[in-house]
Amino acid sequence: MAENSLSSRLQMAMRRLTGRGYLTETDIDEMMREVRLSLLEADVNFKVVKQFIQNIKEQAVGEKILKGLNPGQQVVKIVHDELKRVMGNDAEGLRYNLSGLTTIMTIGLQGSGKTTAIGKLGVYIRKTDKKNVLFIAADVYRPAAIEQLETIGKQVGIEVFQKGLIDARTIVKDGLAYAKEKKFDVVIIDTAGRLHIDEKMMQELIDVKALAKPDEILLTVDAMTGQDAANICKSFHEQLQATGAILTKLDGDTRGGAALSIKEVSGIPIKFASSGEKMDAFEVFHPERMASRILGMGDVLSLIEKATESIDEDEAQNMMEKLMSDSFNYNDLMKQFKMIKRMGSISKILGFLPGAGQMKQAMSQVDDRQFDKMSALISSMTDAERKDPKLIDTSSRRRERVAKGSGMSVADLNRLRQALETQKKMMKKMMNMDEKELEGLQKNPSRMMPTPSVKKGKGKGKGQFRFK
């Protein structure tokens, strides 16, 4: 995640306060120094940092907090609420015309990921709001910009209107007439990007805005540019009055400064966040959820939404019934792998869980290719073996054949067998839980993980312990 380095520093500062029975003003000052350094290192705008620290200190140093119950946790809540305020408080969606065509104009510098973001936005609108989308290719300066948009359009199944390298204003005028004639619901205009903001570029964008009368003007901003992103937003906003920003490349090795600077410096709300290369790696930006992720509180709501989008309810219900009836087999495990892969990478899914920051090292070692390996093993089994796991369990010859057929070792197959058994054990454990235990599980999902059994060593190295 983009907020990782900022996240780990802030979490460390917060951990020093939580759990203490009382706090002094000196404790708050020490934490504020850490927070200030964390934000500046994350390339957050200096004025934003100054105001951020001032607001927190004003609220945290009051007698009610310092002498109250769980003062550390109250301070963490103050920091969380201030992070949320800086990023815009509430999520803001798209504004659609109640009747007729909705026009969205996209703007941004070259290299900000604008054309890719248009593709993702189109997919999002079609999937979420069930609207028919048309792209208009009006970036006539960057080499191959039209070809790139057409390639993306073919990839996602969205039509692209283009007329080659003629005047952008003519393309937009004709494109809007075509969209109305063909009764499209939404038009997304790809406008010219430059390596820097110049007068000629701005004048063309102002002309296109006057011509298209867009309902939304969305500015794409590269998250990797840190606080510079906020200054770019401010320049565009002063000329064009942008209605929102799309923060791109949020999955890169960035420091989080852009997300915390844009709204405060430019006044433009962040409407969407784009991460990853896949066309569905695009989501509404929720300031509260991002604040929770930064402070290591997890983002279970986003995880639930992701699961709801990716997993068919009937399919999930059927799988749950099979697990509970103890008839879960390798065919079902294969379906489960496919469900999880539809949700994204495992490390990303784990990142939504509370306390994920403390599992940072383990998360970085999660290899999504393990799913492909296990799927290959299952594909090497016969239909009978997939339906009845006991056939594999009771025959070493079958295990050798399956491993050889998939190009893997028997040890790899044994890990697959263990994964199947673990699923069954976890389900049995859940079935025996009462309501209170299930509530505790929601707060800390890691409690479901099986505890390794420890056996005393024998023979050489006696007295040592090994995990079974």
The CATH T-level fold of domain 311-450 is: 434 Repressor (Amino-terminal Domain) (1.10.260)
Residues 6+ apart with CB under 8 A from 242: 107, 217, 218, 219, 233, 236, 268
Q: Exposed, middle or buried: residue 390 (CB in 10 Å: 0-12, 13-18, 19+)?
A: exposed
Q: CATH number of the domain at 102-303, out of 3.30.70.940, 3.40.50.11540, 3.40.50.2000, 3.40.50.300?
A: 3.40.50.300
Q: What is the pLDDT of residue 336?
A: 75
Maximum Cα–Cα distance for the chain, whole Å? 85
Task: DSSP for 95-149, please give it.
Answer: PPPSSS-EEEEEE--TTS-HHHHHHHHHHHHHHHH---EEEEE---SSTTHHHHH
Q: How many residues in total does the chain contain?
A: 468
Q: What is the pLDDT of residue 454?
A: 43
User: pTM score, two decimals?
Assistant: 0.65
Helix (H) or strand (E) holding 64: helix 63-66
pLDDT tens for each residue of the chain, 468 residues long = 444 567 777 777 777 776 666 777 888 888 888 888 888 888 888 888 999 999 988 888 775 666 665 677 778 888 888 888 888 888 888 989 888 899 999 998 887 888 999 999 999 999 889 999 999 999 888 778 899 999 999 999 999 999 988 889 999 999 999 999 999 999 999 998 766 677 777 888 999 999 999 999 999 988 877 777 788 888 888 888 999 999 888 765 445 677 888 888 888 899 998 877 788 888 888 888 888 777 766 544 555 555 555 556 666 666 666 656 667 788 888 877 777 666 665 555 555 554 444 444 444 444 566 777 888 899 999 999 998 999 999 999 999 999 999 898 999 899 888 888 877 777 666 666 665 655 554 444 444 444 444 444 444 444 443 333
CATH superfamily assigned to domain 4-87: SRP54, nucleotide-binding domain (1.20.120.140)
* Domain layout of the chain by residue ranges: 4-87, 102-303, 311-450
- How far is Cα 197 from Cα 159, in angstroms, rounded to an integer? 29
Q: What is the pLDDT of residue 190?
A: 94
